[in-house]
C-alpha cells in the first residue's frame, strides 16, 4: 500500500500540532534551497514545505525542480510565512519523478490560453485550468444532486442514432463500412444493410426525443451526456463535441418549465459559490487582471463574483418573443441603425439582438417565450394564436443562449400535421408518436449546454478552455 497521503486542501485547513503527515504532489516553485511550494491538484493553494538547510543532500536538492513529483513526510507547524496557516517541516523527501526544467513546456511564467490549448494535456497543472476544471466538476455534481433530490431519473439516451429527424444540426456519420469501395446495392447506392447496425447511423445531436419516452413513464427524467454537431464553426462559442443536460418533465407546462430552469441555474451557481469559493476567487482575480488591459469603457460593470451573486439574488426577466421584438424596435440602438441584422417580427434573433436585450436593456438573464412557429422545431406546442409555439430560450449576459426548451406538442393530431407541414417523416418516428397515442400528457423540457454554463460561472471567454480536450474543425488532438 502506497497511498497514505493527506490532500493538501485538507492539510491547509488543519490546526498545526506537530503531527506527522505525508503529502505527495508536484513542485510549483523551490526557493533558496529551502522552500518548496507543493501542489497536488486539490486546490490552487500550495503547501509550503520547509527543508532545513544542511539536512538534505545536495544531489536531492538539485532534483527538486518545477513539476518534479515528491513524497514528503514531515511535521505540521505554524507557518512562518504570510497567507498560510501551516508549513510542513520536512523530515524525509523522496523524489517520485524528475522533471527536466529546461524541457518542461510549462515555465513558471504566464502563458497565453492559445499556447496552453496546444498542450491541453498539461494545462490542468496551471492555476487557471485547475480552477476551471474543479468548478466544472462541482457543476456536474450539482446537476446530478439537483435532479436526484427532486426525484428525477437520470436516463442515458443513445449516442449512436439512426434517427436524423430532429434537425438540430449537421451530423457525424458512424460506420464500419470501408471508405474505399463501400458496398453498394443493385441501384448503385451505398448498401447500409451491410453496415454495423444494418442502417445508416449518426452521432446524436440531442437526447430529447428519447428523453420524452422516459418522461412519459417516470414523470421526470434528465439526460447528461455528449452531443455532437458536424458544423464547420470555428468560433469561441462552438464545439463539435459538447455535453448537454436535457431534463424532460411530464405534467409541466411552459411556465413550470421556466420555473424549473431558473431554479436550476440559480442552484448551480449557488452550489459552486459555496463549494469552490477559492477557485472562484482566483478566476475573479484573473478576469480583473485581464480587464485591466482593456480601455475603461469596455470593462464589465460587475466582476465575476458580483455577476454570479446578482444572478442568484434576482429573478430572471420573462418576456415573450413579441415583446422582445418591440423592445428592439423601440431601442435607440435600432433607431440609430446600430444592428447589423434587420429587426422585425418573425426573425430568428441574432446574437447582437440577444445581447442587447440581456446586456443593455435588462442587464440580467432573460427568459424569452412564445417564438414564431416557423423558426422553431416541429415538436414545440402550438399556441392558441396559431402563429407561435410555447418555446423558451434563456439568454445570459456574456454568453447568449444558455438554455433552449419548450412545452412539447402533446396533441397527436396537431403534432402529425406540424410534422407534415415541416417535412418530418412520421414513419421514422413511430415510437415518438406512440407517446401521443397512448395516454399522452402535457409535458415540457429544456436543454442546457454544459460548457456554456461552465463558461458563465468561470468567466472563461473561449469554450475551448472549459472542456478537457476540445473537438473542433481540423482538431482532434489528444
Nearer to its own copies, 142 or 327 (CB): 142
- Half-sphere CA count of 287, side-chain side, radius 13 A: 25
Min dist CB 360 to its own copies, Å, is 30
Please say which residue, 180 or 342, places its beta carbon nearer to its own copies.
180
Is there a contact between 257 and 268 (Cβ–Cβ < 8 Å)? no
In the complex with its own copies, which residue's Cβ is closer, 203 or 287? 203
Query: What residues pair up with 292 in beta bridges, in sequence order?
Result: none
Residue whose cell numbers read 464553426:
233
Q: Of 162, 11, 22, 33, give the one whose Cα is nearest residue 87.
A: 11
- Find the shortest distance in angstroms from Cβ 69 to its own copies: 4
Find out whether 265 and 308 touch, Cβ atoms under 8 Å: no
**In the complex with its own copies, which residue's Cβ is closer, 181 or 295?**
181
Sign (positive or negative) of CA dihedral 51, 53, 57, 63: positive
**Closer residue to its own copies in complex, CB, 41/461:** 41
Please identify, using beta-carbon distances, which residue of 341 and 478 lies nearer to its own copies: 478
The residues near 160 (Cβ < 8 Å, ≥ 6 apart) are 174, 197, 201, 202, 203, 204
Residue 405 Cβ vs its own copies, minimum distance, rounded to whole Å: 15
Name the minimum Å distance from CB 312 to its own copies: 21
Nearest approach, Cβ of residue 182 and its own copies (Å): 4
Q: How far is the CB of 423 from its own copies (least distance, A)?
A: 21
CB 142 within 8 A of CB 135: no
Give 24's strand partners: 71
Spatial CA neighbour of 278 closest among 299, 308, 305? 305
Closer CB to its own copies, residue 27 or residue 392? 27
**CA 148/CA 142 separation, integer angstroms:** 10
Residue 263: CB minimum distance to its own copies, A = 13
Amino acid at each position: 500500500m502506497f497511498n497514505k497521503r493527506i490532500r493538501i486542501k485538507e492539510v491547509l485547513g488543519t490546526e498545526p500540532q506537530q503531527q506527522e503527515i505525508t503529502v505527495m504532489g508536484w513542485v510549483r516553485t523551490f526557493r533558496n534551497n529551502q522552500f518548496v511550494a507543493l501542489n497536488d491538484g486539490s486546490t490552487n493553494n500550495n503547501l509550503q514545505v520547509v527543508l532545513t538547510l544542511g539536512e538534505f543532500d545536495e544531489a536531492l536538492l538539485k532534483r527538486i525542480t518545477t513539476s518534479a513529483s515528491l513524497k514528503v513526510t514531515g511535521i505540521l507547524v505554524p507557518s512562518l510565512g504570510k497567507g498560510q496557516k501551516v508549513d510542513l517541516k520536512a523530515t524525509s523527501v523522496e523524489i517520485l519523478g524528475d522533471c527536466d526544467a529546461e524541457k518542461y513546456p510549462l515555465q513558471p511564467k504566464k502563458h497565453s490560453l492559445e499556447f496552453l490549448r496546444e498542450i491541453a494535456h498539461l494545462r490542468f497543472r496551471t492555476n487557471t485550468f485547475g480552477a476551471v476544471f474543479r468548478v466544472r466538476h462541482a457543476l456536474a455534481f450539482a446537476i446530478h444532486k439537483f435532479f436526484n433530490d427532486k426525484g428525477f431519473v437520470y436516463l442515458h439516451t443513445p449516442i449512436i442514432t439512426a434517427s436524423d429527424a430532429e434537425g438540430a444540426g449537421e451530423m457525424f456519420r458512424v460506420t464500419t463500412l470501408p471508405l474505399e469501395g463501400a458496398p453498394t446495392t443493385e441501384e448503385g447506392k451505398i448498401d447500409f444493410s451491410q453496415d454495423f447496425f444494418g442502417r445508416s447511423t449518426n452521432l446524436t445531436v440531442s437526447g430529447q426525443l428519447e428523453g420524452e419516452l422516459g418522461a412519459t413513464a417516470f414523470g421526470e427524467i434528465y439526460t447528461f451526456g455528449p452531443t455532437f454537431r458536424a458544423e464547420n464553426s470555428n468560433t469561441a462559442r462552438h464545439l463539435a463535441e459538447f455535453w448537454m443536460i436535457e431534463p424532460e418533465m411530464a405534467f409541466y407546462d411552459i411556465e413550470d418549465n421556466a420555473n424549473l430552469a431558473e431554479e436550476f441555474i440559480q442552484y448551480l451557481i449557488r452550489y459552486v459559490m459555496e463549494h469552490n469559493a477559492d477557485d472562484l476567487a482566483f478566476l475573479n482575480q484573473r478576469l480583473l487582471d485581464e480587464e485591466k488591459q482593456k480601455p475603461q469603457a469596455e470593462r464589465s460593470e460587475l466582476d465575476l463574483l458580483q455577476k454570479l451573486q446578482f444572478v442568484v439574488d434576482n429573478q430572471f426577466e420573462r418576456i415573450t418573443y413579441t415583446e422582445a421584438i418591440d423592445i428592439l424596435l423601440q431601442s435607440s440602438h435600432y433607431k440609430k441603425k446600430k444592428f447589423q441584422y434587420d429587426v422585425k417580427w418573425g426573425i430568428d434573433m441574432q446574437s447582437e439582438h440577444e445581447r442587447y436585450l440581456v446586456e443593455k436593456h435588462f442587464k440580467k438573464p432573460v427568459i424569452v417565450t412564445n417564438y414564431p412557429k416557423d423558426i422553431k422545431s416541429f415538436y414545440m406546442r402550438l399556441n392558441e394564436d396559431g402563429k407561435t409555439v410555447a418555446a423558451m430560450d434563456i439568454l445570459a449576459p456574456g454568453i447568449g443562449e444558455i438554455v433552449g426548451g419548450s412545452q412539447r406538442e402533446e396533441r397527436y393530431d396537431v403534432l402529425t400535421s406540424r410534422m407534415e407541414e415541416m417535412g418530418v417523416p412520421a414513419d421514422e418516428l413511430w415510437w415518438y408518436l406512440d407517446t401521443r397515442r397512448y395516454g399522452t400528457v402535457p409535458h415540457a423540457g429544456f436543454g442546457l449546454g454544459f460548457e456554456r454554463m461552465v463558461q458563465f460561472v468561470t468567466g472563461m471567454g473561449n469554450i475551448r478552455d472549459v472542456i478537457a480536450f476540445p473537438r473542433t474543425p481540423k482538431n482532434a488532438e489528444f
